[in-house]
Homo-oligomer: A and B are copies of this chain.
Amino acid sequence: MIHGGDIITYKDKFNGSIIDYSSNINPLGPPKGLRKVFESSYNDLTVYPDIKYRELKENISAYLGCKEDEVIVGNGAVEIINNISLIFNRTVVFTPCFYEYMERPRVLGKEVIKIPMKENFSLDLETLEGVLRNGDLLILGNPNNPTGLRIPKKELLEISYIVNKAKGFLLLDEAFFEFCPRDYDSIQLFNDLKNISVIRAATKFFALPGIRLGYGFASRNFVNEYSKIESPWSVNAFANAAARHIFMDKAYIEDSKTSTKKERDFILNELSNIKWLKAFYSDTNFILIKLLKYNEDTIFNSFIRSGILVRKASTFEGLDQTYIRIAVKDSVSNKRLIKTFKEFE
C-alpha cells in the first residue's frame, strides 16, 4: 500500500464502519450547495470539456489571486506533477515526501535525486545547493507530506534564491495550503518569478478527492509551455462545475480552517501525554508519529480492530517501520482516535 485512503482493502477487518485516518480529507465534507451545482451542470457531461478551460481558469484565478493565463489545471494535482516532471530532465526531492514526486518522473524515464531530510525533518539547503544543476526540477511539499511541516517564509526565499542561481525550477506542492497558518501565500510571494509553480487542489481542503481537480499558478510563459504537453480534456465536467461554487463559500473556508486548528491542537495535546510515541508538530491536517516501542504493523493491526485505519509510514522513503501518520478529523472521531491510542497499552 503505497498510498493512503485504500479503505476498501481493509473493510472486512472490523465489524462496523472504519474511520479512515490514513487519508487527509477535510472532515466537514464538501461545501454545501455543491450537489445543486452538479444537478444544474448535468448537461455539461454531454459536451467535451472546454479544451482551453476558459471558465475554469477564470474561477481559479479569482481564488488564487493571479491572472487567468497564469493558471494550470489537471486531473488532480498528480497529473500536474506528472506533466511538469516531463518538462525537466532531472527531478530533485527531499525524502520523506509524497511518493508521486519521485514516481511520476521515474515512470517518465527521468533521473530522480533524493536528498534525505535532517533528523528533525528540516531541509538540508547546503546539500541542495551542491546538488542542484541548470534545468533541474525541485519538488517540495509545502506543507510536506508526511511530515506536516510548512516551509518557513525565510527558508523558502532562500530556496528560491538557490533555485534561481542554479537556473532550476521550483514546484511547490501546496495541496494542504488552506489547512495551514496564514503566514504567507507563495503565489503572492513569487508571482513575478518565471521559474516557479505552486500547485493546489480541491482534493484535501474541499474534501473532493473523487472529483479530480488540481490547479496551480505559474508564469504565463510556463503555462504556455505546459499547454503544449498536457493531454486534452483532462479536467472533467463536474470538476469544472465544482469550481463555480467551492471557492466562493467563504464561511466554509473559515470554518474548515478554524476547526482543523482546534482539532489538531486537541490531538497533539492528547498525544503528548502518551509515553510510547512522539507526535511531531504539524502545520496542517495530518500528524506524523514516531513509535517508540512498537512498529507500524502492531499499531495498524491493533487499531484496525477498533475501526481506526492509520497510515503505515514506512512506505515513505526515508522512514522506517517505527512511524505512522494520522489525519485530523472531526471532534467525535478524534475522541475515538485518542481513546484508541490511550487504550492500546
Contact = CB atoms under 8 A, between A and B. Distances in A.
A48 B23 contact: yes
A121 B232 CA distance: 26
Contacts of A54: 8
Q: Interface range on chain A: under 10, 10 to 19, 20 to 34, or 35 or more?
A: 35 or more
Task: Please give the count of copies of this chain that the complex contains.
Answer: 2
Contact of A208 (B45, B79, B82): B45
A153 to B, nearest CB: 31
Interface in A31-69: 35, 38-39, 42, 44-52, 54
B45 A8 contact: no
A236 B47 CA distance: 17
Contacts of A79: 75, 231, 234
Interface of A: prevailing SS: loop
Contacts of A237: 210-211
A78 to B, nearest CB: 5
B231 A78 contact: yes
A345 B163 CA distance: 62
A239 to B, nearest CB: 7
A131 interface: no
Contact of A5 (B8, B48, B75, B108): B48
B236 A210 contact: yes
Given A45-B210, A46-B210, A212-B236, A229 B5 contact: no
Given A25-B46, A79-B234, 5 more contacts: A3-B232, A79-B231, A100-B232, A209-B233, A236-B238
A279 interface: no
B78 A210 contact: no
Interface string A233-248: 1101111100000000
A229 B100 CA distance: 11
A104 interface: yes
Contacts of A92: none
Contacts of A25: 46-47
